[in-house]
Amino acid sequence: MLRRIVWLLVAFPAAAILVTLAVANRHAVRLVLDPFRPETPVLWIDLPFYVYLLTALVIGVALGGTATWMTQARWRRTARRRAQEALRWQAEADRLARERDQTLAAQRREQGAGKALAVAGR
């Protein structure tokens, strides 16, 4: 619940700032994609300035997330290896517990048979 409240306290001001930015920068700006003839470009885009800002923000978040994900690959690999090792150890413990239970059951049967012979021999 606290996490949700904190998220709302961050999200609403951020949304208000983005809306204010969009309203203040809604005039069209030409992005020239032709470096050889900037006066008469072949490739250009006319969009509101806030679109460029929001696009840069989204690209920055995506690149930052990708870089973080790639730097954490070593830790994910280690976690995957340790999880597999834990599964192997758990399987070994289960196997040993089954063997112990079978051994104890066999010993009980032998003791029960020995007591039955002792009672019958009286």
Rg over alpha carbons for the chain, rounded to the nearest Å, is 35
Q: What is the mean pLDDT of the chain?
A: 87
Q: Is the pLDDT of residue 120 over 70?
A: no
| pLDDT, tens only, 42-62 | 888 899 988 888 899 899 999
**50: number of Cβ within 10 Å:** 19
Using the structure block, give the residue that is written with the tokens 């009672």: 119
Residue 1 in 3-state DSSP?
A: coil
Q: Are 34 and 50 in contact (CB under 8 A)?
A: no
Using the structure block, give the residue that is written with the tokens 């790639």: 70
Confidence of residue 6 (pLDDT cuts 50, 70, 90): confident
Q: Has this prediction a pTM greater than 0.85?
A: no
Mean pLDDT of 87-96: 97
